[in-house]
Structure 1
Amino acid sequence: MKTNNIKVGVSNKEGQLGFVFSRGGHREGSGRKGIGVTKKVSLTLTEETWNKIDDHCTDNKVSRSEVIRNILESYFSQ
């Protein structure tokens, strides 16, 4: 029978306890880097506009967030 040992260690976050893994798991600084501040908004558009956005997303293999972000950044960079 295989024995899995679990280690408990001090996290880098204000002395919180956390599990320490020899492989994988959360590592400080890992993952996709943020590109800005995330704020949740609710946006009401016509069905036709949403369909155009979705078609653009499908055709260009991008997310809705990326399309809307590009539109807003283009507008405000003028």
Structure 2
Amino acid sequence: MPPYKYNLLPEHLRHSNSAKRESAGRPSLGITKKLSLTLPKDIWDKIEKEIEEKELKSMSAYLRRMILNHYKNTR
């Protein structure tokens, strides 16, 4: 937790050891950027079907895998 946010915690959480640790929680995968993507319905349907078949947890996981694979292969 960044030091500037520590003071925003309720009093009962300020005494916990994990409140001051920045490394607590899930490690970051990188920088988050929000976006909106417009595609035809048939393409979205194909993407959603592929996500189900590959048992991925989210659209983000699917797109992340696709983008990372693309850029790993172009080095």
Deviations 1:39-63 (A, max 9, x none): 0111111111111111121222211
Q: How many residues align?
A: 67
Matched-pair identity in %: 24
Q: Give the TM-score normalised by the residue count of structure 1.
A: 0.64
Do structure 1's residue 43 and structure 2's residue 37 form an aligned pair?
yes
| Aligned amino acid, residue 35 of structure 1 | L
The unaligned stretches of length 5 or more in structure 2 are none
The unaligned stretches of length 5 or more in structure 1 are 1-10
Counting strand residues as a fraction of each chain, which structure ranks higher? 1
Counting helix residues as a fraction of each chain, which structure ranks higher? 2
Partner of residue 48 from structure 2, selected from 32, 51, 54 = 54
Paired position in structure 2 for 1:72? 67
Q: CA deviation at 1:27?
A: 6.0
Superposed structure 1 runs of 4+ greater than 6 Å apart = none
Superposition CA RMSD, Å: 2.8
- Of structures 1 and 2, the one scoring higher in RCO (CA 8 A, sep 6+) is 2
